[in-house]
Copies of this chain bind each other. A is one copy, B any other.
Amino acid sequence: MAKDNQFVNQIADIETDFPRWYTDVVIRTKLVDYGPVKGTMVIRPYGYAIWENIQKELDARFKATGHQNAYFPLLIPYSFMTREAEHVEGFAPEVAVVTVGGGEELAEPLVIRPTSETVIGEMYSKWLQSYRDLPILINQWANVVRWEKTTRPFLRTSEFLWQEGHTAHATEEEAMEETMKMLGVYKEFAENCLAIPVFTGRKTEKEKFAGAVATFGMEAMMHDGKSLQAGTSHYFGQNFSKAFDIQYLDKDGVHKYAYTSSWGVSTRLIGAIIMVHGDQRGLALPPAVAPVQAIIVPIAAKKEGVLEAVAALKAELLAAGIRAESDLTDNSPGWKFNEWEMKGVPLRIELGPRDIEAGKMTVVRRDNFEKSEVSRENAADTVKKLLADIQTGMYEKAKRRKEERVVGADSVEELLRGVEGGNFVKAGWCGCRECEEKIKEQTAASARVIVEDETAETCVCCGKKAKHVVLFARAY
């Protein structure tokens, strides 16, 4: 393990001041910076490269499940917001409003999309004619704006990047199947690419999307035991198709309203990666989405043949599809080790005169700091194998924590102790909003998802018959 040094000192203690640790890490590793307008962020190249890898992986999954991308306008007539009663209640308070365009006051104010159900609903109502046009399976990669009072880079910002899938179907069953399918895609992606195990399940009425019949969420446990909602998939029934007149002529000659869904994940996922895998040394990025998967550090770089050997190794790894980089700066090897550890690069490869002579290279894993000498021959295969091991190792580690840190509770006091101890708490719930709000008030924990296939006798709050088992946690 590299020695502690000033890098570590630049980062607040992860155990005692996690919020500061988070801010220190995202700024110091140049993932992100604060934009000039309060609450906005600039995603810097190192952060954006993670987003590009996320996009590439997700986009392939969306296309493999039959979706196509499209692009809908940023600006939405204010009146659209009001057509779905719950939707306007949920989103109107946090929209940014354009009132002037081209030097003139606009006849109708426009909102910058906080989400696109309304404008996409309007277009679907134009495009949808016959049952033959169904299903409509479209995704959009876009920016959205939600005016937030308290903001933190990646987690909650006035503008963020996301994807929003919007689909229309002939039947309730198909729309619900789509909703669940995409929740499954998110879960598989989170586990396999981000190395983040997740809880998935239905949200309570209080926590669901404004305008949805049902929202299903994917929740991940952060280092501090708090939950981050990492993705959602919504079933709308006919709420939006009635509000926007999304009708089609069915085989039987009758006009019918379509059933719609939407689903989205955002740059928030980068926050999840940071808070699940990070440690006192900084970031730890899962190989599947790391901008640099292997960093090659020359040892005794001025000795004959070292830089050539580094260049040859880099070329070999790049040719094998590994995102390899070499650090040829003037900094000392120790400095470089710490720098790239802080930046979370999964694998470090040290290459010096002795390694070269012995036909070896020294590899150090970011996930467990294991250092070993491996043969220089078949370097690409070895590195691929190591990256796969790191990916699995990171997932297993996060999974262990997730499993260890779920406790039960028979009373609100116990629930409070549970979340204060950095746990998720499973408890019975009667199903009424009053109890849900009381629990939130007394513990600062909210209902994250309803747990399927589990039952409880009584509600943790009122003691009446429990309707559901709910996973409670404090959340970002």
- Cross-chain contact of A71 among B48, B100, B103, B109 (Cβ < 8 A): B48
**Known interface pairs A49-B69, A68-B49. Does A33 touch B94 (Cβ–Cβ under 8 Å)?**
no
Answer yes or no: A361 CB below 8 A from chain B CBs: no
Secondary structure class of chain A's binding surface, majority of residues: mixed
Q: Is the CB of B122 within 8 A of A80?
A: no
When all copies of this chain in the complex are counted, the total is 2
Residues of B within 8 A of A123 (CB): 33, 35, 42
Stretch of A141-149, A211-219, A389-397 that contacts chain B: A141-149
Answer yes or no: A269 CB below 8 A from chain B CBs: no
Answer yes or no: A126 CB below 8 A from chain B CBs: yes
Residues of B within 8 A of A37 (CB): 73, 75-77, 110
How many residues belonging to A are interface residues under a CB distance threshold of 8 Å? 56
* Chain B, residue nearest A108 (CB): B37
Q: Is the CB of B68 within 8 A of A119?
A: no
* Chain B, residue nearest A94 (CB): B102
Answer yes or no: A98 CB below 8 A from chain B CBs: yes
Residues of B within 8 A of A96 (CB): 75, 98, 100-102, 110
Q: Is the CB of B74 within 8 A of A159?
A: yes
Q: Is the CB of B71 within 8 A of A161?
A: yes
Nearest chain B CB to A142 CB, angstrom units: 8
Q: Is the CB of B76 within 8 A of A147?
A: no
Answer yes or no: A97 CB below 8 A from chain B CBs: yes
**Known interface pairs A33-B126, A119-B36, A122-B36. Does A100 touch B97 (Cβ–Cβ under 8 Å)?**
yes
Answer yes or no: A321 CB below 8 A from chain B CBs: no
- A249 and B43 CA atoms in complex are apart in Å by 25
- A362 and B102 CA atoms in complex are apart in Å by 54
New contact pairs (6) apart from A37-B73, A97-B101, CB-CB < 8 Å? A36-B76, A37-B76, A42-B72, A74-B159, A96-B110, A99-B100
Q: Could you list 7 examples of A-B contacts with CB < 8 Å?
A: A36-B80, A40-B75, A42-B123, A48-B68, A75-B145, A95-B101, A142-B143
